[in-house]
A and B are shown apart, each in its own frame.
Chain A
């Protein structure tokens, strides 16, 4: 079972920041938050992950609240090519082995 809650869909204007929220209120202390996205007709693509500190890479920023019960993925300047399904995933501990459990995700539509 997915441990996260995401909005079904969001729209964003091209060139603006896209802020995708994720709730993970039952996250435990050793679980990380991962984000992947899936562009239509392609396989998912890793974006970013974090434990409790904010993270930034060339694709996005990840902001995790202090209580770690929610997070936000930020695409600073969304383009049409960022239209995709975005998955927020809480990764289990080693007991769960290699499993990444994907939920339904958020459909992000970037519009010109």
Chain B
């Protein structure tokens, strides 16, 4: 248990569906992150939020839409995805974002399959 909870753990969706991934952190952190991990590839940073403000968008296609209503919750809204978007989506949080003592705490991820 890392204090970062992601739901659902598994998701299968069609290319025309709309779904959302949810992340909640119970650590009192100020920054939250979305990472993507495709099969046999390194983790890729997608989005960063600091105090609810988006500070990083790593050239992510618009079919992925993040939302951060407060420092404890992060969503990733999905629509018209492609099969190549199938991956493990990981949420993380941290205190002191950008500092050299920053430690990221990750959730267990949502395994997404797009059919």
Query: B residues within 8 Å of A by Cβ?
Result: 2, 4, 31, 33, 42-43, 45, 48, 50, 55-56, 90-92, 94, 97-98, 100-109
Contact = CB atoms under 8 A, between A and B. Distances in A.
A94 B102 CA distance: 12
Interface of A: 2, 32, 36, 41-46, 49, 51, 91, 94, 97-105
Contacts of A43: 2, 4, 90-92, 106-109
Given A42-B109, A43-B106, A43-B109, A97 B43 contact: no
Contacts of B97: 98
Contacts of A42: 106, 108-109
28 contacts: A2-B42, A41-B108, A41-B109, A42-B106, A42-B109, A43-B2, A43-B90, A43-B91, A43-B107, A45-B2, A45-B106, A49-B100, A51-B100, A97-B48, A97-B55, A97-B56, A98-B48, A98-B55, A98-B97, A98-B102, A99-B45, A99-B56, A100-B45, A100-B104, A102-B42, A102-B43, A103-B42, A104-B42
Contacts of A103: 42
Nearest to B102: A98
